[in-house]
Amino acid sequence: MKLDGKQRWIYLLALAILIAAVALAASWTLGRSGEESAPTVTPVPVTPAMETPVATQPDVVPAAETPSPTAAEAGETAATVVYYQDNYGYLVPVMCRVPMEAGIAKATLSLMVQNAGNDMQAARLGLRTVLPEGMSIDLDISGGLARIDLGAEALRMEDAAQETNMVQAVVQTLTEFPTVDRVEFLIDGKRMERLTHGTSVSGEFTRGAINLESVSASSNMRDARLVTLYFPGDSQTVVVPVTRVVYQEPDINTAVMELTKGPSRDSALEDTVPAGCGLIDVKVEGGVAKLNFTEDFVDIINDNDGGRLALKALLLTCTQFDGVDSVEIYVDGEPYDPGASAMAVPKYVNIADNIIYDSIQAQSALIFDYE
């Protein structure tokens, strides 16, 4: 893309405005105190036959729900995982930092409510908030159970897809905390069976399938299992977890084989493994997963980011399994080394500051592209 002097000036001005907005929004976010923030899938309990080692975040937020007053007064922040959605409805976990305060779980959920500040933060990430504007949240956590009371706004969602994403995002966010393993819903202070468009909110919800891919109505679900895969999002700045139905043991061999098939046909997600690349074998030795691909794997460097996001998705897919601490890649039996930094196991699926940095870098590359 070749730019003349005037166009280059406009692009540089736009970039400067973007950076200024990022800095202003970041200072606003750190300065504010906490408030009391896919393909359609109905969150139903998984039957024993479909249980699987579904991936969780590599690291969860701090267990402490009541930090000391000195921490709050010092302006310290805590890492917390917020669930947004992308433009195609996929839920996307992002590690953000919030002021250290009593009630971090509730403060995290408040970031997911639609309002000017939260929507601006989500837009900076290329994502959207999932809880409706004006949503009130009351939360009590005891004995591993998080009982959440959502306001009447939960009954005014536009469709079942929005309802489902809201419920799933709340469950996924709360179960990131080690103090929560079950979630129970109240709506405007009352127990309900279903929301307006039919989404179940009865009983206790546990962490389970996220962004479940659709399956044929004729599929035999008796022998079905679930496996979590990770794919780069269409924006090439985030990684998205997807749950796929399989009919074999949901282990690392199955997961990597499914990655070579790519995302579902109707998906906007990108390939993790280059199209046409085959899997020769997978071995796990001493905590190291050794993946042997055909020669097409080297095409991963042709991605806009040199394959960094795809490699991250591959690492997340493999290291979700017990006994896998790191990954080595081989191409036709020969070691393939994309660099130590590219093969470092991610601590979080996505990190807010990294997403923003990558977005600015991409815009800068566009401006100075004089081919």
Give the predicted TM-score (pTM) of the model: 0.80
92-130 tens-digit pLDDT: 999 999 888 888 999 999 999 999 999 999 999 999 999
* Structural contact between residues 185 and 148, judged by C-beta atoms closer than 8 angstroms: yes
296, burial (CB in 10 Å: exposed 0-12, middle 13-18, buried 19+)? middle
* Whether the predicted pLDDT of 221 surpasses 60: yes
14-41 tens-digit pLDDT: 555 655 555 554 444 444 433 333 333 3
Long-range contact pairs involving 28-34 (C-beta distance under 8 Å, separation at least 24): 28/117, 29/117, 29/121, 30/75, 30/77, 30/97, 30/99, 32/99, 32/117, 33/99, 33/101, 34/98, 34/99, 34/101, 34/103, 34/104, 34/106, 34/107, 34/110
> Over pLDDT 90: what percentage of the chain?
66
Which residues on neighbouring strands pair with residue 142, listed in sequence order?
145
* Whether the predicted pLDDT of 263 surpasses 60: yes
Collapsed DSSP state (helix, strand, coil) of residue 168 = helix
137-184 tens-digit pLDDT: 999 999 999 999 999 999 999 999 999 999 999 999 999 999 999 999
Report the distance separating Cα 327 and Cα 312, nearest Å.
11
The pLDDT value given to residue 54: 40
DSSP string, 121-143: HHHHTT-B--BPTT--EEEEEET
